[in-house]
Amino acid sequence: MIDLKRNVTVPGLLEFKRAGIPIAMLTAYDASIARRIDQAGVDCVLVGDSLGNVIQGHSSTLPVTVDDVVYHTHAVARGLERALLVADLPFMSYHDPSTAMESAASLMRAGAGMVKLEGGAPVINIVTSLVGQGIPVCAHLGLTPQHVHRFGGYRVQGREQSTADSLVKDALALQAAGAGLLVVECIPKDLADRVTRALHIPVIGIGAGADVDGQVLVSYDMLGISSARAPKFVRDFLSDGRGVLQALEAYVDAVRQRDFPSPAESYE
């Protein structure tokens, strides 16, 4: 039996998957929200490069720098006691092993327990290098926002058989390279289920249906305070008059019970 009150570690995430307990993950960018998220029982907190959208007001994550993520990682780390802190490697901060190592080291020194990067085959050597130096890595496949211009916008990925097969192949390769966690974003729920069953590491979904090992949302989205129009996979947990802490607790409960996301909040 997993003690849900003990500190969450990278090896501990595997225990969640083996026990069939869904992992609850949210973004945070400051100590105050991080403290409330931690109190609510969220397992992983992501200092996402989504800060470019929700904090800085940009139309994409591309302007975010390593220094930006380091600043917010320092702040979030001060608000956490139990949750595992994951920090994003921003655009062009991991294009070669040397640069990736320097960027990741800055985030780890700021308080991260794991770093996240986007992409499949082109970043396998980066994952191998980071893991070889003791840096835990969370991979990210599907809709990868740093590649938004290549995709031609924020579109669902993996609907064609060839792209679905390629995504599964990349997921297995990332796992073999040492990634300890995988985020899949905006992919059909059946593909997310296929990936989850194929991997022994946990798979966290965002817009990927309920048949994964956990869920992640941008905290500003699930609290209904983002200025942009929310995607279909977002649920506003603050809309029924709850307080912030109660909304965060409701999110954790919905993830644990697999009540979120619903079929209407998923992609076919």
pLDDT tens, position by position, 184-231: 999 999 999 999 999 999 999 999 999 999 999 999 999 999 877 889
Find out whether 88 and 47 touch, Cβ atoms under 8 Å. yes
Find out whether 252 and 41 touch, Cβ atoms under 8 Å. yes
- Which residue's entry shows tokens 């022994």? 200
- Three-class DSSP labels, 9-71: CHHHHHHHHHHCCCEEEEECCCHHHHHHHHHCCCCEEEECCCHHHHCCCCCCCCCCCHHHHHH
How far apart CA 168 and CA 55 sit, in angstroms, is: 33
Phi and psi at 110, nearest 5°, equal: -80, -10
What single-letter DSSP state applies at residue 153?
Answer: S
What single-letter DSSP state applies at residue 240?
Answer: T
pLDDT band for 2, please (50, 70, 90 cuts). Answer: confident
N-terminal to C-terminal alpha carbon distance within the chain: 34
Average pLDDT, rounded, for the chain: 96
Other Cβ atoms closer than 10 A to 55: 15
Query: Residue 61 carries which side chain, given as an amino acid letter?
Result: T
Output the pLDDT for position 153: 77
185 is catalytic: yes
Answer whether residue 138 shows pLDDT above 90.
yes
Query: Residue 8 carries which side chain, given as an amino acid letter?
Result: V
Dig out the tokens for 103 from the structure.
């960027």
Question: For strand 203-206 and strand 181-185, is the pairing parallel, antiparallel, or unpaired?
Answer: parallel
Candidate CATH numbers 3.40.50.2300, 3.30.360.10, 3.20.20.60, 3.90.1150.150; the one for domain 10-265: 3.20.20.60
- Find the catalytic residue in 15, 81, 160, 185: 185
Q: Give me the residue spans of the domains in the chain.
A: 10-265
- Name, of 139-143, 228-232, 237-241, the range with top average pLDDT: 139-143
pLDDT tens, position by position, 78-98: 999 999 999 999 999 999 999
Other Cβ atoms closer than 10 A to 2: 12
